[in-house]
Amino acid sequence: MRFRELWDEIAPVGRDAGSGGYLRYALTAPELRLREWFRAQADLRGMPVSEDGNGNLFARWGDPPGDARDGDAGRVGAAAGTGAVLTGSHFDSVPHGGAYDGPLGVVSAFLAVDELRATGADPVRPVVVAAFVEEEGARFGVPCLGSRLLTGEIDPDRAAGLRDAAGVGFAEALGARPAGADPALADRFAAFVELHVEQGRALVDAGAPVGVASAIWPHGRWRFELRGEGNHAGTTRMADRRDPMLTYAFTVLAANKEARLRGAHATVGRVAVEPNATNAVPSRVTCWLDARAAAPETLRELVEAVHAKVAERARRDGTELTVTPESATPLVAFDAGLTGRLAELLAAPVLPTGAGHDAGVLAARLPTAMLFVRNPTGVSHSPAESATDDDCAAGVVALARVLEELACR
């Protein structure tokens, strides 16, 4: 186990000296460096690397399915198959994000392969380490873009046309129109197991270094565009204003209140103001609502309530409102057979999460499970996100046991 050694290789990449957080947006220089690091790590291990035309990277340990040997008909989770066991996560971050969200799953996957090799394990089915592109949606707006393309969850033409804040299109950043769905996905892969830092404190409370995920709350993103009339801050009478900033302020409060009323989560974490001048009534405010709930109907009611209340407020403010859904992720219940099997194997607690993951997207197509590694702060999407080296090492050992169970028997 050389967790710290490997971790230190990527720790400086994309780190902002001011905040201590990471700026690793998909297909920008820091993320491209991490992708080069991925290729180098695969080379060191003699693992061939392939890309899927969507920006996702794969490194394979073991013979491809076509070369499967006799006796290769074991069962993985609920599904029979000779496909590979997929593991890994993503390199990209939210603005000023933590070190562990994403990269921990990729680093742990390579180290788990090392662990298995050190014990002389021989995969009956290949183990494939993946790095998915644009999981956070921090650059192009749609989270889990790489896994959504791979599964056919998003149309490649829509993905190609997504633009970052500077107007660069996803296809341009990728260097090609994305390839889209792999129709053979379910044959190529027998299962996916993503290891991830926990983004809450359930494992701290449980006193366990590693847990297994049961479900992901349904969640989505909605863009609220509020248009009014730009005007002079000093000369425009208060009664004459059509100020979208007022409607925006109400939106933030309404989202918070409606989520609390339902035991759900709602966040307005991003806002753009035009013209963004101290001495001008804004002409337009755009903000993004991130909403999540345990049940789909609660989520629907929450968003409808916020929309209705903001529309009513906009009428009073004399502003215009347009609400556009940008992404939606349904409730994900991870494969119960696989999850139960891994929880028993690892004697680990099982917990749900409100955070989205590529595993949640792939779960629609493959038996999928997730391992969580304890996070002492419970904080994520922030530089304060953390995990101890001992717990990260425990995560690698757990992942190696899982891969041994799924790929080597």
Tell me which of 52, 92, 134, 135 binds ligand HGY, using CB under 6 A: 135
Contacts of 27 (CB under 8 A, 6+ apart): 55, 133, 134, 139, 173, 174
Of residues 102 and 395, the one with the C-beta less far from ligand HGY: 102
Element spanning 369, H or E: strand 368-373
The item of ligand HGY, Mn ion, none sharing an interface with residue 102, based on CB under 5 to 8 Å by kind, is Mn ion
Asked whether 329 and 153 are in contact (CB, 8 A), the reply is: no
The closest of 354, 351, 358, 356 to 374, measured between CA atoms, is 351
CA distance 63 to 126: 6
The closest of 318, 332, 311, 141 to 222, measured between CA atoms, is 141
Q: How far is the CB of 101 from Mn ion (least distance, A)?
A: 4
Tell me which of 52, 136, 198, 391 binds ligand HGY, using CB under 6 A: 136
Q: How far is the CB of 353 from ligand HGY (least distance, A)?
A: 8
Of residues 246 and 291, the one with the C-beta less far from ligand HGY: 291
Tell me which of 143, 218, 244, 367 binds ligand HGY, using CB under 6 A: 143
Instruction: Using DSSP, state whether 158 is helix, strand or coil.
Output: helix
Q: How far is the CB of 138 from Mn ion (least distance, A)?
A: 9
Point out which residues bind Mn ion (CB under 5 A).
101-102
Q: How far is the CB of 336 from ligand HGY (least distance, A)?
A: 22
The item of ligand HGY, Mn ion, none sharing an interface with residue 83, based on CB under 5 to 8 Å by kind, is none
Q: How far is the CB of 189 from Mn ion (least distance, A)?
A: 19
The item of ligand HGY, Mn ion, none sharing an interface with residue 146, based on CB under 5 to 8 Å by kind, is none
Of residues 52 and 101, the one with the C-beta less far from Mn ion: 101
Asked whether 334 and 213 are in contact (CB, 8 A), the reply is: yes
Of residues 146 and 178, the one with the C-beta less far from ligand HGY: 146
Structure tokens given for 37: 């690091």
Of residues 147 and 339, the one with the C-beta less far from Mn ion: 147
CA distance 132 to 242: 44
Q: Helices 3-10 and 103-118, interaxial angle, to 10°? A: 150
Element spanning 305, H or E: helix 296-317
Of residues 136 and 391, the one with the C-beta less far from ligand HGY: 136
- Strands (E) located in 158-278: 189-197, 210-216, 219-227, 231-232, 265-274
CB atoms inside a 10 Å sphere around CB 320: 16
Q: How far is the CB of 88 from ligand HGY (least distance, A)?
A: 15
**Distances, alpha carbon 197 to alpha carbons 66, 134, 373, 376, in Å:** 34, 17, 5, 10
Of residues 326 and 405, the one with the C-beta less far from Mn ion: 326
Of residues 111 and 355, the one with the C-beta less far from ligand HGY: 355
Cis peptide before 178 (omega within 30 of 0): no
| Binding positions for ligand HGY, 356-375, rule CB under 6 A | 356
The contact mask relative to ligand HGY for 311-350 (x = CB under 6 A, - = no) is ----------------------------------------
**Could you tell me which stretch among 19-27, 135-143, 184-192, 309-317 binds ligand HGY (CB under 6 A)?**
135-143
The item of Mn ion, ligand HGY, none sharing an interface with residue 356, based on CB under 5 to 8 Å by kind, is ligand HGY
Q: How far is the CB of 325 from ligand HGY (least distance, A)?
A: 16
Of residues 101 and 164, the one with the C-beta less far from Mn ion: 101
Find how far residue 77's CA is from the centre of its chain.
23
How would DSSP label each residue in 18-70?
TTS-B---TTSHHHHHHHHHHHHHHHHTT--EEE-SSS-EEEEES--GGGPPT
Q: How far is the CB of 356 from ligand HGY (least distance, A)?
A: 4
Give the residue closest to ligand HGY by C-beta: 356
Tell me, by CB under 6 A, how many residues bind ligand HGY.
5
φ and ψ of 58, to 5 deg? -135, 135
Q: How far is the CB of 187 from ligand HGY (least distance, A)?
A: 28
Provide the Cα torsion 235, 236, 238, 239; round to 10°.
130
Q: How far is the CB of 390 from ligand HGY (least distance, A)?
A: 24
Tell me which of 13, 355, 363, 387 binds ligand HGY, using CB under 6 A: 355
Of residues 216 and 281, the one with the C-beta less far from Mn ion: 216
Q: Which stretches of the chain bind ligand HGY, using CB under 6 A?
A: 135-136, 143, 355-356
